[in-house]
Amino acid sequence: MDVDNEYVTITIANPSSNWREWIKTINTDTIPLKIIDTKNGYTVKIQEQYTKKNPLMSRLIRQVFYKASYCEGCRVCEANCSNGSIRFISKKVLIVGCKQCADCHEIETGCISYHSLRQPQGGGKIMKSLNTMSNHAPKADWFAAFFAKKDEFFADHGLGPEQISFFKRFLKDALLADKSSVTPFADLVSEIGWDTEPALGLILINLANENPQIAWYIRNLEINKPYERKVVEDMLISFDVKPPVAKSICGAFRRLTDTPFGSKLNWGSVSGAGAMTRTTCSVSDPRIILYGLYVYNEKANAHYEFRLNTFYENLEQDGIPPTTVFGLDRQIVEPMLRGLSAKYPEFINYSDTNDLCKISLREDKTPQDVLELFREDK
């Protein structure tokens, strides 16, 4: 599945089942589909505006084409159908008199065969669960204890078994710990002051690029737009997340905003009525942006050059640029890039000649080299 500024595109090759049968299980009146035949399958195009307005129907549409692509006639859908509308004849599906109750979609990702094979996603990467924190998102005092005790924290943390398990995952994705040892990055963060804006900014860049739950918030919640919690839960369900897990992921967002990520970095907030908002972060040190650019360059395999414009396009790719991580618009970022180019020419060159706004990083530098710039202040 690919997403651009206008369309969600699903490409089906060598389908094992008939989509015209499976499409009978849903009402597509609210989301128009355009289906184009190809040599060995077809392409489905959906205007993105419709998927954003109706995430639950978007989920069901994706599941229709999961079924069409992967169905092997296991007959679980037939068993789930309380109306007797689904039959399999020689492992080929036939649907007659469907009432569109969606019972046949109440399967993991809509299709058992697809779910069992659900490994590759974009370049052969393993699909990672969005639920990385469950009901145990970290608290401020957990961070304080970790940075106070360092390696000793893992033997004397005072947390429950599930709490420490999920917190270890969080620390690993933040690159603060490796198993039960703190990393050099954690030492630097401790020197800077873990609850200061620069340190939190560096941590958030790592989390955005390593933790799928944090990445989901950043990719899917528009900046400075309040979302009712039920809307966010529906959005998550459209990504094949189970309803109880969707509730946990929303609860984790609130817990995170109660830490210095919310109070110091201004990453997000939750209103008294429960509306969730991802907010423009406070980023006063441009070196945080420089670090984010180098991390993004590695994740996106950008070959050390990219245009600023691409950061503001809705592209599905590996890595999240720092502009998106922090919700910064061009008016904020461009002066930072000019300043970085002037002060650290050995790391970056920014050119806005002819409105190209090109960013060039030095091929002999790495994210670790950028972190050394913070150590120079110590």
Residue 11 covered by a domain: yes
- Domain assignment present for residue 134? The answer is no
Within this chain, do residues 263 and 152 fall inside the same structural domain, yes or no? yes
Cβ atoms of residues 275 and 225 within 8 Å = no
Please tell me whether residues 88 and 160 are part of one structural domain.
no
Question: How far from the centroid of its chain's Cα atoms is residue 378's Cα?
Answer: 34
Number of domains into which the chain is organized: 3
Whether 258 is in a domain gets the answer yes
Average pLDDT over residues 350-368: 89
Collapsing DSSP to helix, strand or coil, 369 comes out as helix
Domain-embedded: residue 131: no
119 and 206 in one domain?
A: no
Does 119 have pLDDT greater than 60?
Answer: no
Q: What does the buried/exposed string (b/e) look like for 319-356 if buried means 16 or more CB atoms within 10 Å of the residue's CB?
A: bbbbbbbbbbeeeebeebbeebbeebeebbbbeeeeee
My answer on whether 73 and 201 are in the same domain is no
Determine the longest span between alpha carbons in the chain, in angstroms.
73
* Residue 130: both structure tokens together: 């969005």
pLDDT at 366: 96
What pLDDT, in 10s, does the model give residues 273-320?
999 999 999 999 999 999 999 999 999 888 899 888 888 875 556 789
Helix 212-220 to helix 197-210 angle (10° resolution) is 100
Task: Please indicate, yes or no, whether residues 371 and 297 belong to a single structural domain of this protein.
Answer: yes
Report the mean per-residue pLDDT for the chain.
Answer: 89
Which residue from 348, 353, 367, 289 is spatially nearest to 322, judged by alpha carbons? 289
- pLDDT(354) > 80: no
Q: Do 309 and 325 have their domain in common?
A: yes
| Residue 135 within a domain | no
The pTM assigned to this predicted structure is: 0.77
Residue 208 CA, distance from chain mean position: 8
* Banded pLDDT at 224 (limits 50, 70, 90): very high
Shared-domain flag, residues 160 and 268: yes
* One domain, residues 225 and 98: no
- Looking at the structure, do residues 145 and 85 belong to the same domain, yes or no? no
Whether residue 274 lies inside any domain: the answer is: yes
- Look up the domain containing 340 and give its range: 286-375
Residue type, 6: E
Residue 261's pLDDT is 98
Asked if residue 266 lies in contact with residue 201, where contact means CB atoms within 8 angstroms, the answer is no
pLDDT exceeding 70 applies to what percent of the chain? 93
Q: Is residue 349 part of a domain?
A: yes
- pLDDT band (50, 70, 90) for residue 125: very low
- Domain shared by 261 and 306, yes or no: no
Domain-terminating residue out of 255, 278, 301: 278
Q: Does some domain include residue 133?
A: no
pLDDT in tens, 146-175: 999 999 999 999 999 999 999 999 999 999
> Domain check: are 179 and 259 in the same one?
yes
**Are both 310 and 206 inside the same structural domain?**
no
Q: How far apart are CA 347 and CA 335, in angstroms?
A: 16
Among 258, 278, 298, residue at a domain's last position: 278
199 — pLDDT class (breaks 50, 70, 90)? very high
Domain boundary among 100, 125, 150: 125
